[in-house]
Structures are given as C-alpha cells and as structure tokens.
C-alpha cells in the first residue's frame, strides 16, 4: 500500500473514529486509562480497530492519545512508554494489514503552559513517536493541541525521531479559537512552517464548527492538505454514561460538506462510532 501523502494526492482518505469514548461506553476501562488495555486486554483494542476497518476506515489510529511519558505517569505507566506505543502500533498494523494505513496517535501532554521547557517536551514527543514508528505506524497524527508552543515542540520532537509524514490537528472552541487564543489562520500557517504535512482540526463542538475552522484554514493556506476529525458534539451525562446527540446521519452530511471543501483526510472524534464511519464512507462513496 502506498504511503499517506501519495494516497492523499489521489483523493480523500477516510480515517476512523473515537477510541476512548467508545471503550468507556462499552464499560471496558473500569477506571483505567485506555492505554492500559494494550497490555491487559489487547483483544478489546483489536476489536475496535476491526470494527472501524469493516466500517470503511482507510487509516486506523493507535490507542495512544495519552501515551506520552507525562500523561502515563499519572497511572504509574511512565516506564512503559516504549512498550505501550510499540504494542499499540503493532496491534493496529495487524488489523490493517494491506487494507489500511496506521496512524500513530499523539495527544497533548496535559501540562500547563511553561511548566516544562521546550526541550523537555520535544524529548517526550520524540520518545513516543520513535516507539510508534518501531511498531509499524505509517504516519503520525498529533491531535487536540491548543497551544502553538506545544505544537511546535511536538513537531520538533517527532522530526527528531522519524521522517514519517505528520498530521497535526488543533482543537477550537465556539469562538473559533483554541483555548490559548489561536485562530485557524495562525494555526495552519504555523504548523505548516514547522513541518506538518497535513493540518486541520479535531474534536471541538461538532462537524459544523470544524467545517468553519477548515474554511478559514483553506482561505489562509490554499495549497495545504487539510484534515478534519469532528466530535459528535458535547456529551450529556445520563446516569453514569456520557451521551452524544450526533449520530451517523449528521456525520454523513458533514462528510459530504467537508469533502466538497477539499478536505483530504476525514475521520471522527469523541462520541463517534463505527456506524458513524460507515455512514461517512457511504456518503463519500468509499468502498472497501
């Protein structure tokens, strides 16, 4: 199978949907971080990857959103960064086979701005990226970033560790700015200048908001390869469950609009399910 950039040059590539919220809804976590299941119950992770592949996903992202040293330390797993990330990539690679690409997922460190020096953050991201590459990732997906300082450190760290293509996504609020005040235009221009191959937005308040962000990124950077992974909106707490209101129909409609906008990498985030990806695949006529 050709690599990410050549696939994107050919047309739209459909990614997968949420991992953490799906595992939580199924009752798989039991107070554990999703990454803990990689070693304790890997079959549960494999089942999610397989469900997304069967739904039509052409890019499977690893169960490593919180797989960096600083986040894993909260669960006493800081010494297992390499093992967890290599395992996650290998599991996704096993399911993907020759049918799909594997994207190594890297989320934010969850630290305060200025809490760690840029050099330390670079080392943290480099460590995770190297392990994902060793495990068989075809590309890396940095997502849910809000501060440009962390994004810059993440991209620098990733480039220290590997030459795999990098997708970099930031998360925006209702005012179409990140939590640190970054605009879509500022994000796209900065991320591209720091070496991201694909830029875009993920999570947020839902597909319409992500679409608005991508429109502004497209205007600022007409030649950029764009990616969108919207959430299913904001959750409501029903008993012990987080319930999302947007389902497959909303994602199908969003897929058509985002594809028309010229988005090259399309997937979904929090609250989405394999049914959402199947609806998106049908909407953009992606057939396995």
CATH number at residue 93: 3.20.20.330
d(CA 111, CA 43): 31
According to the model, what pLDDT value does residue 1 have?
54
pLDDT the model gives residue 31: 87
In a domain, 275, yes or no: yes
| Residue numbers of the chain with a pLDDT score lower than 70 | 1-2, 286-288
| Cα Rg, the chain, nearest whole Å | 17
CB proximity list for 169: less than 8 A, separation 6 or greater? 141, 142, 143, 144, 145, 199, 200, 201, 202, 227, 229
> Quick one: pLDDT at residue 182?
98
Residue 180, domain extent: 4-283
Number of domains in the chain: 1
pLDDT attached to residue 286:
67
* CA-based nearest residue to 183, from 152, 144, 213: 213
- Which residue, among 190, 192, 249, 199, has the nearest Cα to 229 in the 3D structure? 199
In a domain, 288, yes or no: no
Domain annotation covers residue 258: yes
- pLDDT of 88: 98
pLDDT of residue 30: 87
**Residue 53, in any domain of the structure:** yes
* Cβ burial, residue 238 (10 Å; 0-12/13-18/19+): exposed
**Which stretches within the chain are classed as H helix?**
4-10, 20-25, 37-40, 42-55, 69-72, 81-96, 118-135, 148-161, 184-193, 207-220, 248-261, 274-283
Would residue 106 be called left, alpha or beta, if left means φ above 0 and alpha means ψ between -120 and 50 degrees?
beta
CB 135 within 8 A of CB 81: no
Residue 274 lies in a domain: yes
Determine, yes or no, domain membership for 278. Answer: yes
Q: Assess contact for 170 and 151: CB atoms under 8 A.
A: yes
């Amino acid at each position: 199978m050709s690599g990410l950039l050549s696939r994107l040059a050919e047309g739209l590539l459909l990614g997968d949907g949420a991992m953490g919220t799906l595992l939580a809804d199924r009752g798989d976590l039991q107070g554990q971080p999703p990454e803990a299941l990689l070693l304790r119950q890997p079959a549960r992770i494999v089942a999610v990857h397989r469900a997304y592949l069967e739904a039509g996903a052409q890019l499977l992202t690893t169960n490593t959103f919180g797989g960096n040293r600083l986040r894993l330390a909260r669960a006493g797993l800081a010494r297992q960064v390499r093992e967890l990330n290599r395992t996650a990539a290998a599991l996704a690679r096993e399911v993907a086979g020759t049918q799909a690409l594997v994207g190594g997922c890297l989320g934010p460190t969850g630290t305060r701005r200025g809490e760690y020096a840029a050099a330390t953050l670079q080392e943290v991201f480099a460590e995770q990226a190297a392990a994902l590459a060793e495990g068989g990732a075809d590309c890396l997906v940095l997502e849910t970033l809000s501060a440009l300082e962390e994004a810059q450190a993440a991209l620098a760290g990733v480039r220290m560790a590997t030459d795999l293509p990098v997708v970099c996504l930031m998360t925006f609020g209702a005012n179409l700015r990140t939590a640190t005040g970054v605009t879509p235009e500022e994000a796209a221009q900065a991320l591209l200048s720091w070496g991201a191959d694909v830029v875009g937005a993920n999570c947020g308040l839902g597909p319409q908001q992500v679409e608005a962000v991508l429109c502004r990124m497209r205007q600022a950077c007409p030649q950029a390869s764009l990616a969108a992974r919207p959430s299913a909106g904001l959750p409501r707490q029903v008993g012990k469950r987080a319930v999302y209101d947007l389902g497959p129909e909303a994602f199908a409609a969003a897929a058509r609009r985002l594809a028309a906008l010229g988005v090259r990498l399309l997937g979904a985030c929090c609250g989405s399910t394999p049914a959402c990806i199947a609806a998106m695949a049908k909407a953009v006529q992606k057939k396995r």
